């Protein structure tokens, strides 16, 4: 079986390449959620280039759309489009723009404005219930994103409709563009918030694929409630000087930094093998 931890560092290298080439991107959040997307696309979700038009495929919405580079890298690695296309990300007239766009194969809905993905996912999950379909809906939000009021409109509806086919993940890396989430707008009390909206709350080590998979499996067993997985992640996980650093929310590496990051990612991959 494929070593997904090793894979996660290869995907991070793809992300690093995208951002270094494009001179733009959100590397901190990409590295933060990388393992969540790998768990979903490599283990959890019933979605592939072959069944992308199947009404019963599982759905994924990247609500924190600025982490699009990781989505592109994972979709390319799963064969939704040629890996060669990653060279065009954020380039002139490319369809691979800086936020998810459903012109790209494998992307369900456009996102980028924070606080939309959960409500859209509620609609998708509701359609599944109406059609008595078995697919599941997944969405990933940032912890800073939880300050958007619309998130809680979606949370309220998901609880109200008892959408047990919906799993939301919070990328709890504790940093946002202006600093610590706890300084900007506290999110440490979110367990109680989610529960009070009718959700089942799980925690996972957000950069540990086994821990994430265990949480996703548990979520499938919860009936009559949507599940939120609060994934404790490290922003920029995988490269020493990028992780846990506020400016690396969207900093672009220099040539020297690119080389060092590449070496570190290769080393991490080798250690995982």
Query: With binding defined as CB under 8 A, does residue 111 bind other proteins?
Result: yes
Query: With binding defined as CB under 8 A, does residue 102 bind other proteins?
Result: yes
Name the CA dihedral angle for 118, 109, 31, 156, rounded to a multiple of 10 degrees.
Answer: 0
Number of residues that bind other proteins (CB under 8 A): 30
Cβ contact 173:32 at 8 Å? yes
Closer by beta carbon to other proteins, 79 or else 123 = 123
If we measure between CA atoms, which residue out of 148, 185, 204, 209 comes closest to residue 9?
A: 209
Binding mask 34-73 for other proteins (x = CB under 8 A): ---------------------x---x--------------
The stretches of 23-165 forming alpha helices (DSSP H) are 27-39, 68-77, 117-130, 149-160
Query: With binding defined as CB under 8 A, does residue 165 bind other proteins?
Result: no
Stretch that binds other proteins, among 45-53, 146-154, 180-188, 263-271 (CB under 8 A): 146-154
Closer by beta carbon to other proteins, 106 or else 128 = 128
The residue assigned the tokens 């600093």 is 179
Residues 6 or more apart in contact with residue 19 via CB below 8 angstroms: 25, 27, 30, 69, 252, 253
Closer by beta carbon to other proteins, 126 or else 214 = 126
Checking 200-203 for CB contacts under 8 A at 24+ apart, the result is 200/225, 200/226, 200/227, 200/228, 201/227, 201/228, 201/230, 202/227, 202/228, 202/229, 202/230, 203/229, 203/230, 203/231, 203/232
CA distance 66 to 9: 20
Closer by beta carbon to other proteins, 8 or else 119 = 119
Smallest separation, CB 90 to other proteins (Å): 18
Closer by beta carbon to other proteins, 127 or else 252 = 127
Query: With binding defined as CB under 8 A, does residue 154 bind other proteins?
Result: yes
3-state class of 167 per DSSP? strand
Closer by beta carbon to other proteins, 59 or else 174 = 59
Query: With binding defined as CB under 8 A, does residue 157 bind other proteins?
Result: yes
Q: Which of 48, 94, 112, 177 binds other proteins (CB under 8 A)?
A: 112
Residue ranges binding other proteins (CB under 8 A): 55, 59, 102, 108-113, 115-116, 119-128, 130-131, 149-150, 153-154, 156-157, 160
């Amino acid at each position: 079986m494929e070593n997904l931890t090793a894979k996660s560092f290869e995907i991070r290298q793809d992300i690093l390449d995208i951002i270094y080439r494009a001179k733009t991107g959100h590397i901190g959040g990409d590295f933060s959620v990388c393992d969540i997307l790998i768990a979903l696309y490599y283990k959890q979700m019933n979605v592939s280039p072959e069944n992308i038009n199947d009404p019963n495929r599982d759905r994924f919405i990247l609500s924190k759309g600025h982490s699009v580079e990781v989505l592109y890298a994972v979709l390319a690695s799963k064969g939704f489009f040629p890996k060669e296309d990653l060279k065009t990300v954020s380039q002139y007239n490319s369809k691979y723009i800086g936020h998810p766009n459903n012109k790209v194969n494998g992307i369900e809905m456009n996102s980028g404005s924070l606080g939309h993905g959960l409500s859209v996912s509620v609609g998708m999950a509701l359609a599944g219930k109406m059609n008595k379909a078995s697919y599941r809906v997944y969405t990933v939000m940032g912890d800073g994103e939880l300050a958007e009021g619309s998130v809680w409109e979606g949370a309220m509806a998901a609880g109200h409709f008892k959408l047990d086919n919906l799993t939301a993940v919070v990328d709890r890396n504790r940093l946002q563009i202006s600093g610590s989430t706890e300084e900007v707008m506290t999110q440490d009390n979110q367990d109680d918030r989610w529960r009070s909206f009718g959700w089942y709350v799980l925690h996972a080590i957000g950069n540990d694929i086994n821990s994430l998979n265990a949480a996703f499996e548990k979520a499938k067993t919860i009936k009559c409630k949507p599940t939120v997985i609060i994934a404790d992640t490290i922003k920029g996980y995988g490269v020493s000087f990028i992780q846990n650093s506020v400016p690396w929310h969207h900093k672009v590496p220099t040539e020297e930094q690119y080389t060092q990051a590449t070496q570190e990612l290769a080393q991490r991959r080798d250690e995982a093998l």
